[in-house]
């Protein structure tokens, strides 16, 4: 199973015509090339994901809504021009700050993500304490996830009580613990994409297992 080229055509056209009248006229294409393909992908990866972890939810709730929340945004365009799929931990809640795996599809670039994005302060404090309490253990986790980049948004200064020369200062300053990797569009459209996505999840599993263990979630 793979995504169809029409998905990217639809998203490009939507970016050029981001209004309700155009979307209503082309909603059949959205249903066919975004929702149907996404739901087929979710179903196709489920067996492989169960082997990565039985605690990751693989159902239709993984697909983010295409409708933007414009209540407090300067940009009032009504629709997202990308597709987002977030495979969350079953026991950790249902918002974007839940540990999980992520797939981003956009004409300008596709990418994979894994970890926990901008958790609330108490959760982030627990993750930082885990690092401070076991520096070598965290270094082993970070060394076990190869072929990814770390999401870069960080504090300008170390958290209170952390020295500038702490061996993990770069990690302790991070607002998220997220791994990312670009995905070529040709791969998204190829027949082996399901296996490729699951392989990325497997490679990122040491981080996910550590985050979930720290937060007392099953893995």
Number of domains in the chain: 1
Query: Do the domain assignments include residue 92?
Result: yes
Q: Give me the pLDDT at residue 146, please.
A: 93
Query: Do the domain assignments include residue 68?
Result: yes
**Domain of residue 13, residue span:** 5-214
Would you say the C-alpha torsion 7, 11, 17, 21 has a positive or negative sign? positive
Residue 152 reports pLDDT greater than 90? no
Query: Do the domain assignments include residue 219?
Result: no
Domain holding 54: CATH number?
A: 3.30.930.20
- The two three-digit tokens of residue 109, written as one number: 């670039």
At 76, the pLDDT band (50, 70, 90 cuts) reads: confident
Query: Do the domain assignments include residue 171?
Result: yes
Residue 57 reports pLDDT greater than 90? yes
Q: Give me the pLDDT at residue 15, please.
A: 97
Residues 6+ apart with CB under 8 A from 102: 84, 85, 86, 87, 112, 113, 114
Q: Give me the pLDDT at residue 65, please.
A: 94
């Amino acid at each position: 199973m793979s995504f169809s080229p029409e998905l990217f055509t639809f998203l490009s056209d939507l970016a050029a015509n981001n209004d309700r009248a155009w979307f209503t006229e082309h909603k059949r294409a959205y249903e066919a090339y975004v929702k149907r393909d996404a739901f087929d992908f979710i179903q196709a990866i489920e067996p492989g994901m169960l082997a990565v972890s039985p605690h990751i939810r693989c159902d239709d709730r993984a697909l983010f809504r295409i409708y933007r929340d414009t209540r407090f945004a300067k940009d009032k365009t009504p629709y997202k021009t990308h597709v987002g799929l977030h495979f969350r931990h079953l026991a950790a809640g249902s918002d974007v700050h839940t540990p999980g795996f992520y797939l981003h599809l956009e004409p300008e670039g596709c990418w994979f993500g894994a970890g926990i994005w901008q958790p609330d302060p108490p959760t982030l404090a627990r993750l930082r304490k885990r690092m401070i309490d076991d520096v070598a253990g965290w270094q082993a986790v970070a060394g076990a996830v190869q072929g990814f980049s770390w999401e870069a948004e960080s504090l300008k200064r170390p958290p209170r009580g952390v020295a500038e020369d702490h061996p993990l200062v770069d990690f302790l300053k991070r607002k998220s613990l997220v791994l990312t990797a670009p995905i070529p569009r040709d791969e998204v459209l190829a027949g082996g994409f399901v296996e490729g996505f699951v392989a990325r999840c497997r490679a990122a599993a040491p981080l996910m297992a550590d985050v979930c263990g720290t937060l007392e979630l099953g893995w």
